Structure 1
Amino acid sequence: MKRCFPALLLCLPLWVSAQSAGPASGHAHAHHAAPVGDTRQAVAFPAPMRAQTLANMRDHLLALTEIQEALARRDFDGAGQLAERRLGMSSLHTHGAHDVAGFMPPAMQALGTAMHRSASQFAVVAQEASVTGDLSAALAALAKVGRTCVSCHEGFRLETAPAH
């Protein structure tokens, strides 16, 4: 039993997931709520702009990873420079933010601006950490960047605008 217990713990999330999904029909399905659809607000972008925006978002994820790697090496200056150049307010022109802003609803624009501002704020905190060695402050500031990304992705999804 002692050897089986860790294996059971590993399988439990899979079992719970399967149970919550429920079968497509039958008695068990009657006890589960219907699957909730995607409730995020659809935002239509022209196809090339959507592709470029998604590529920018993937680069944002890569930048966050590279920043975390720099922090793990205690390279606070490098982390701050990455953040400002790839995510911060200085990156807006590179990402064509002005071009896409017109397609975004105001709440999405606000979240995007908040992400870029928090990245610039992280860059300052990272510079300070290079003097103080305070990794926790840098991590907290970086978490704020990630939270804005999550908030936007929870509320909005990009779709391709119909061709005219």
Structure 2
Amino acid sequence: MTEHSLHSSYREKLIEHLLVGNLLKLSWKNKNFSLEISKPEVDNAGYDLIAEANGIIRHIQLKTTFIGSATTTQKIHISLTKKPSGCVVWVYFNNETLDLGPYCYFGAAPGQPLPSLENLKTAKHTKGNAIGLKSERSNIRILNKGNFIKLKTINELYHQLFGST
């Protein structure tokens, strides 16, 4: 077992902070200074961050995967569709250096609602009940990697989220 599996919650939080820092840094470098970041008190509506810039409010569900991982799907909460401009940002990172990128994005243009999730497969619990049955998670849908737009840089991600920098 590696530190990545033993301390996955720590790593997830670290990647989140690095991403937020990179987005704020870009806002600073572009002399925009408008990016605001908030976090929900309770994690039950499908998003990890609220980010606002250029008059666009994004409710962002974050996903992370190390470069070279075989992961091809992500599970997302349907409540994200109820937010005005919800989206999913899938951050790839280097396992050794923790450098971020590339990024994958699922959502609509800035200011537009998340595309419908109705036609996506419903996720199941990873563990079975007493008789081994894995019940459906009615609020969770499975997104394939092909549903995402691949973005190489933090600049491209910022533009996808908020329009021009």
Scaled to the shorter chain, the TM-score interval is under 0.3
Compare the two structures and name the one with the higher strand fraction.
Answer: 2
Compare the two structures and name the one with the higher helix fraction.
Answer: 1
TM-score by length of 2: 0.26
Which protein has the larger Cα radius of gyration, Structure 1 or Structure 2? Answer: 1
- For CA contacts below 8 A with separation 6 or more, give which structure has more relative contact order: 1
TM-score by length of 1: 0.26
